[in-house]
Structure 1
């Protein structure tokens, strides 16, 4: 780690933190992936070992380069070439929607990398936009090979079906298949292709079962004719879905050209062996029909500065903030009238509008200030922010009446709220605030 100087933070994944650093001798910017060893007695995680071994043997312009591996404390660090962003960011950027030539260029680079891996009998098993990185020159490269495995079409080797991100998971994996091949990557390529065209996921399932339901609803219910061996899959008989007819992809992807629809239909096929290979897809008419792919020198560059995530307790309202404050004040007024006046720091009859202070014995538990509509002009709704603050214990006001000491646990102090009363008050406050959240 002494050879690098950390200059910024990129993000945090499932296996560690990724930071931006510069090599002290060469001045090269790199991405350092710090992987902690949480279970020292088990050694290095198998996902990390697979990624290191695969990247050390792969030398392709379409796969991210591993520059160095070294130990650091109770863990190790992987040094990668620094990439500017990922394909997911480019798809979500509403200010710069992807054009058909750019989609065609990205898909060509993706298929080139997938073909390179499959020719070496390596299946990635976790292709998704977030794992497709974009360089500062606009070049797409495949990254995160932690789930990659070597496959053999002739062997009977078993693999885990709990791989791939749900929206890009092939149907055989959703049915619990333990024997599969590179077809799981080709299905994911079809999903990514459709997402680039539609700017939204093609199969956005909310759970594994819902994911399978969404696929069947769009592509139709499969059968042994369209999917040989379907009934032999481990989870096929565990769940049944109503029969449904396929929805034309022209309706699912209305912005796709005829050539694009023809190609994506060859990826999104139930039977894995019928899916078009990556090398054959590169020769499809889609890449040779106008508009041609965008030249590499004209590809968009991910933004260098990314917006920081909002604070965890800060929320932007869709309406004037006084609507919230007046509703809270009205609810507190109702509670004020229903509770005994002895529970407040000052009597209501004095004409004073106090804070609602709840006391247990001699210690105030919570103080909620009364909020009134400001007399100044209202600000625009979009410029207002409502921030939730945790209430802190406060000292009793000097004007608060002295409470009689409690002589035994069976006698309640005048003005004190019991645990049950506090619980009921909390329910009232929750009911009053629920319509506003």
Structure 2
């Protein structure tokens, strides 16, 4: 069986799905090494893989970005995006590459699965003289690939069809790449130049296409159609966590089985420090509605909810989604890519209020697929939430479309498809070596 190296940036949203991939590969007999933050070592061992720590210069605590990165708190909008790309993804590049190079020098790997934002893989892809195993770039976000059929990724602009749409997309792409995000792209090229490497042949956010394969952990039905999608991009379906085996139902669990709609609200496990953004407004919005509200604080103490809990609201730090979502009628979320796909895998329509990272893109896809409502803000009003939840519950098309996507997700086995891609790349590499020996 192959020996696989998985390389991931430290944030939980990046490493968590790749740990599920590692678990699946180990289960079929592969030997897997995971290069990421030292603080994930125990989780890596728990899935049966061998942890390797990034150097401190390439490691960071994503729960304390503002403290670790002076000046970040004073930025917002485009300035925040440029700041984050340069400091969180570009600056670690040479240190990530150094760790990769050391691992490759001392070990044999048949393939590398790299987080698409793990830019330390770029020197391996840009230097044709370097001998390397096949590299598969794993997108931890909706696909951030330029296309004539889509607007630039980031702000959550939905597609517009026809010649006018393509003209709009070309204009926005030029503005984004040549003006708005030019600082990010130039910072990457400056870093590569200091390493004696050529400039990127594509825009920085398209760099994943330089890999031998691009893994898109979603379904085509939940992404935009691109007539110019590169042929080596492969949709594999959602990578979901293993089912929970030790769920202990809270005392209020039977209340969810009453004959009225269940609404689940969560801010995920990362952007949940301020529950006034979405959790508390949702509690207030639905306090007098004929629904049951289930709140998950994503691991935060439930005491952080500073408002009184109505009689129809129940709170827990964490409720396994594989247990909860089958009885949920609407999920209100800030738009984490994994959580949204997990809901759709159970046919649950959504109300999404996301403003940071890739969340506007996730929210826009929810609206585009007709599986929910995009509130187009990260801090919606009580009235907006109430109206959106009422609309989703009252319009059967949202549930019908969500169940349509549920069927599409059910037709995929993401881990099996990724394993097949690894085998495909290993076989191609072996065939290439054999040809060179002839």
Structure-1-length-normalised TM-score = 0.27
Q: Which has a greater percent of helix?
A: 2
Q: Whose Rg is larger?
A: 1
